[in-house]
Amino acid sequence: GQQLNQSPQSMFIQEGEDVSMNCTSSSIFNTWLWYKQEPGEGPVLLIALYKAGELTSNGRLTAQFGITRKDSFLNISASIPSDVGIYFCAGRNSGGGADGLTFGKGTHLIIQP
Amino acid sequence: EPEVTQTPSHQVTQMGQEVILRCVPISNHLYFYWYRQILGQKVEFLVSFYNNEISEKSEIFDDQFSVERPDGSNFTLKIRSTKLEDSAMYFCASNKGPNEAFFGQGTRLTVV
């Protein structure tokens, strides 16, 4: 099946620092999504990207859909303690029908005050 | 803000027993999904449901799994004969269109 390689696996940063994480795939995806998951909760959608080259922001979060459609990155600027969690990229190859999302393994963000 | 709700939040069952996990998707959504997440691992797609039928299913979704939308509001996942390896968080998700998915809080299934 399709696989997403997400990196880094974990990040230990100081409050106020910027964060960058990315996902790559050997397959083309037509939709890239970024989710955040906190312990005991379901994934929460942060940003959705639908078009190659698209750059979208949501507050301090910025994500881009790579030109090749095989990668995406998520940046978080000026991190704050509530940014702690696991960030997942997810892709969908809309070959028709309601295809499921393929998730990356997640980036665990830990912020030291 | 409308949200996907799942019940129960935690289910413990004996191996070999049947379980039904319940979900109420967001009311005007048309696409419904089940995903699972084994502890510490990534979220994995199980099945999607649209227009009262399964649209796609993964290789995880074998004959012991089934889904149903018994009325206009509920969406259920049944596991016929649970195995130890079925222990995981099960997430229901829904959306108006097929591109995104809005997730519920999950049901933690523990098979003993």
Model confidence pLDDT, tens digit, residues A29-74? 999 999 999 988 999 999 999 999 999 999 999 999 999 999 999 9
Residue A79 has pLDDT above 80, yes or no: yes
pLDDT at residue A113 in the model: 76
Which residues have C-beta within 8 Å of that of residue A91, sequence separation ≥ 6? A2, A4, A23, A25, A29, A31, A32, A33, A72, A101, A102
How many other C-beta atoms are found inside a 10 Å radius of the C-beta of residue A30? 17
Mean pLDDT of B56-85: 94
Using a CB–CB cutoff of 8 Å, tell me whether A113 touches chain B: no
**B45 vs A48: CB contact, 8 Å cut-off?**
no
pLDDT band of A2, cuts 50, 70, 90: confident
**Partner residue opposite B104 with nearest CB, options A42, A50, A100:** A42
Q: Which of B45, B55, B106 sits opposite A42 (nearest CB)?
A: B106
What is the mean predicted confidence (pLDDT) over A11-33?
95
Element (H, E) at B109: strand B107-111
Task: Determine the distance in angstroms separating the CA of A20 from the nearest CA of chain B, rounded to an integer.
Answer: 19
Q: What is the mean pLDDT of chain B?
A: 94
Q: What is the torsional sign of CA B97, B100, B101, B102?
A: negative
Percent of chain A with pLDDT over 90: 83
Tokens 């990668």 correspond to A71
A1 pLDDT more than 70? no
